[in-house]
Structure 1
Amino acid sequence: MTEIERHHTSERMSQIVTYGNMIYLAGQVAAPGASVTEQTQGILDKIDALLAEAGSSKENILQAIIWLASMDDFAEMNAVWDAWVPAGKAPTRACGGAPLATPDYKVEIIITAVRS
């Protein structure tokens, strides 16, 4: 039987949960108050590191869910996202607007991937 593994776990949540070859990342945020570009890049850097720790990479992302505090920032976030996603390996994706944990967060990204 495959076991569920949890990494970087607190009382509230785990940053990584794996089950078999599946990898689930918690919603990732970056330095509060930074620009949308800086927050998006910071989040993507964190995603790269967490996926590597779980034995995977951005080439193996199945789905991304992106929350923006303001949909006015859609194009700015997409400029960073589009440069980061490997050519021909874009995951399924949803992007919506929602209030985030604090007004200083502008972007949050949730990832589902598989191990390499």
Structure 2
Amino acid sequence: MSIEHLDSGDILAQAVVHGDTVYLCGLTPSDRDLDITGQTEEVLAKIDDRLAKCGSDKSKILSATIYVTDLANKPALNEVWKSWLGELNRPARACVGSIELEPGVLVEIMVTAAK
């Protein structure tokens, strides 16, 4: 079974497809002046775009790992997350808090999805 690396850079690929599974790298917001709601919305839009490029969509997400700099932001993040998913099946998910991300980044999300 082949492995396809999409949008590869010096240290990582934006996505890797192996069989019927899509692995996205950790995605962060471009606009670091946004609050947690805005940053989460931007990252989720990036996930939509990357999954579409790989022949998948958010309804097929199997798991998500979310990194936040402050767990106090988790309730706001969760509201955006629930709104984005709608009534779709909920994936397995972990939310890791109190970690240092790039300057100005409040959230980073990495997902694995079926095709």
User: What is the TM-score normalised by the length of structure 2?
Assistant: 0.95
Distance in 2 (CA, whole Å) between partners of 1:4 and 1:88 is: 28
Q: Deviations over 1:25-70 (max 9, x none)?
A: 0001112121100000000000000000000000000000000010
User: Within the alignment, does 1:100 sit opposite 2:101 as a pair?
Assistant: yes
Q: How many residues align?
A: 113
User: Within the alignment, does 1:69 sit opposite 2:73 as a pair?
Assistant: no
RMSD: 0.8
Distance in 2 (CA, whole Å) between partners of 1:23 and 1:112 is: 6
Please say if residues 59 and 88 of structure 2, whose CA atoms lie closer than 8 Å, have aligned partners that are also in contact. no
Q: Deviations over 1:9-36 (max 9, x none)?
A: 1011110000000100000111212110
Partner residue in 2 for 1:42: 42
Which blocks of at least 5 consecutive residues in structure 2 are unaligned? none
Which blocks of at least 5 consecutive residues in structure 1 are unaligned? none
Distance in 2 (CA, whole Å) between partners of 1:20 and 1:86 is: 27
Distance in 2 (CA, whole Å) between partners of 1:91 and 1:66 is: 12
Partner residue in 2 for 1:32: 32
3-state SS of 2:51 partner: helix
Q: Percent identity?
A: 35
Going from structure 1 to structure 2, the CA distance change for 1:114 and 1:96 (only over 3 Å counts) comes to same
Amino acid at match of 1:84: W
Regions of 4+ moved over 6 Å: none
